[in-house]
Amino acid sequence: MRTLGHPAEKALLVGIELPNQQEPGVTESLEELGELARSAGAAVASHAVQRLQTPTAPFYIGRGKAEELSERCQEGGIHSVIFDDELTPAQSRNLSNVFSRKVLDRTQLILDIFAQRAKTREGKIQIELAQLLYLLPRLTRLWSHLSRQTGGIGTRGPGETQLEVDRRRVQQRIARLHRDLEAVRRSRAVQREGRHRCSWPTLCLVGYTNSGKSTLFNRLTQSEVLVEDKLFATLDPTIRLLQLGGKQRAFLADTVGFIRKLPHDLIDSFRATLEEVKEADLLIHLVDVSDPKVEERIADVRRVLEELDVLGKPSLLVWNKIDRLHGPALLHRLLQRYPGSIGISAWDGSGIEELLSRIGSWSRGRALLFRLRLPVERGDLLARLHREGEPVEVRYRPDGIYVHAWIPAFLQASLAPFILPERGSADSRDASGGTTAGEDGGERPEWAEGFGAAGDSSRNR
Ligand SMILES: Nc1nc2c(ncn2[C@@H]2O[C@H](COP(=O)(O)OP(=O)(O)OP(=O)(O)O)[C@@H](O)[C@H]2O)c(=O)[nH]1
Ligand SMILES: [Mg+2]
């Protein structure tokens, strides 16, 4: 289901300005709507702003204003009118009647972009579901073409109007898509399980759309996922193994970008995809530092993270596109304001080494130093320790292999039977029996300062 997309299609953008309106103002919001329209393939012909006390129930901008703008469309050869908010079903209907041309709202536009971008089966199911959830309350008799499209499959039951038939069909389709998505979720869970078994931590890139997540992903993993100067270039998550130096590795996930007013149905429908964010061990929050509203962007992303219930996860704030800055002042200010954050350019590579080393020390920080005695015949465990942990000392004795090693969190449970009680006082150990990184001669992990919870502003400010 596509609504826009012909390059020559000219659009008028319409927003309202209310008294005491909170940031962002209508101008900025319309600018972003313009970006969305361009990303959907339309050409923005002009903007209109209506100042109101409250949005009017039947026509959103008021009937008089709608009629005036309709004339403007006539004169300017404008094909579609895009409103900066989600319109109610009644408003859409009324405005379509006044304008006699395509009337869209912000939600539909975002859905439209997603529909254009969806390539995989999973992406297509999720977007169709979001579109149908949007459509369902808006079904009227005008939508009877739906039944023609689906061509007499479930014929009308006794006493059912066409509208009821349409609704029933849409509901059936929604139920079907929910079932399909359940299958997708299960298979993603199995893949995740596989990753957990090989046990490297998973890092997930999150951030506002267009902040450069895929560019960074490609640079770090030598991949070639699609990068575009368009909103929502990425829809489906991609996951690759990342080398962190030494023996450290991590899975890195690139995923869909966020945006202010991300439609609810979309978040709901994309839960399967967004589970990669939920299951991640560390969120790398990428911010486009050349965006004049960096701090609002951070807040917008945090709102979505909150909705996904992942604000408590460890996160690393990364300022991207520093190559675009004129002088060091802004970055300097941001680094002070958000301690532990770092500046990079995914495009020219500056700061990447430091980013990798920060991720590496976070990953080591999850490891604990243990003394173990492995049975002599368990060379496989020793091999695994060499592969996934960091042995400090290994001694072969008749009664076993004695190992002193950093053991990552994921390996601790399987090695638990072989862990020796720590010498010295109980104070040198944490609750799980290991010595925390930073003690016992190990370096103090930087993560102790550099990583806050995703929403922990007290830490980041
Ligand atoms: N100058 C500069 N441009 C960058 C940098 N990183 C990314 N870009 C550009 O920013 C645009 C968006 O990059 P993407 O990597 O597609 O951004 P994204 O966050 O994956 O975007 P979505 O998938 O749409 O959410 C592209 O035009 C990139 O070339 C950077 O460090 N410096
Ligand atoms: Mg992307």
Binding residues, by number, are 207-214, 232-236, 254-257, 320-323
- Tell how strand 80-83 and strand 202-207 pair up: unpaired
**pLDDT tier at 169, thresholds 50, 70, 90:** confident
Beta bridge partners of 390: 406
Residues whose beta carbon lies within 6 Å of some atom of ligand 1? 207, 209-215, 227-229, 231-234, 257, 320-321, 323-324, 345-347
> Which residue intervals of the chain bear CATH 3.40.50.11060?
10-113
Does residue 18 surpass a pLDDT of 90? no
What spacing in Å lies between the alpha carbon of 11 and ligand 2's midpoint? 26
**pLDDT tier at 445, thresholds 50, 70, 90:** very low
Percent of residues, the chain, with pLDDT higher than 70? 82
**pLDDT tier at 143, thresholds 50, 70, 90:** very low
Higher pLDDT pick, 436 / 191: 191
Give the pLDDT score at 21.
65
Class of the CATH-defined domain 200-363+451-460: alpha beta
Angle at 436 between CA 434 and CA 438, to 5 degrees: 145
Q: Say how many CA atoms lie within 13 Å of 209 toward its Cβ.
A: 22
> Which residue intervals of the chain bear CATH 3.30.70?
368-436
SS3 223: coil
Over range 170-198, report the average pLDDT. 83
Give the pLDDT score at 458.
34
Choose the residue to mutate in 32, 113, 204, 210 for probing ligand 1, maximizing ligand atoms within 8 Å of C-beta. 210
- Tell how strand 452-453 and strand 435-436 pair up: unpaired
The tokens of 81 are what?
């009118």
Hey, whose CA ends up nearest to atom 10 of ligand 1?
Answer: 212
Does residue 304 surpass a pLDDT of 60? yes
- Condensed to tens digits (0 to 9), the pLDDT of residues 347-386 reads 999 999 999 989 988 887 777 778 899 999 998 999 988 8
Higher pLDDT pick, 287 / 7: 287
Give the pLDDT score at 172.
92
Q: Which atom of ligand 1 is nearest to the CA of 229?
A: 27
Residue 293 backbone dihedrals phi, psi, to 5 degrees: -110, 50
Over range 166-182, report the average pLDDT. 90
Fold for 10-113, please state it. Rossmann fold (3.40.50)
**pLDDT tier at 3, thresholds 50, 70, 90:** low
What spacing in Å lies between the alpha carbon of 337 and ligand 1's midpoint? 24
> Which residue intervals of the chain bear CATH 3.40.50.300?
200-363+451-460
Q: Determine whether domain 368-436 maps to CATH 2.30.30.
A: no
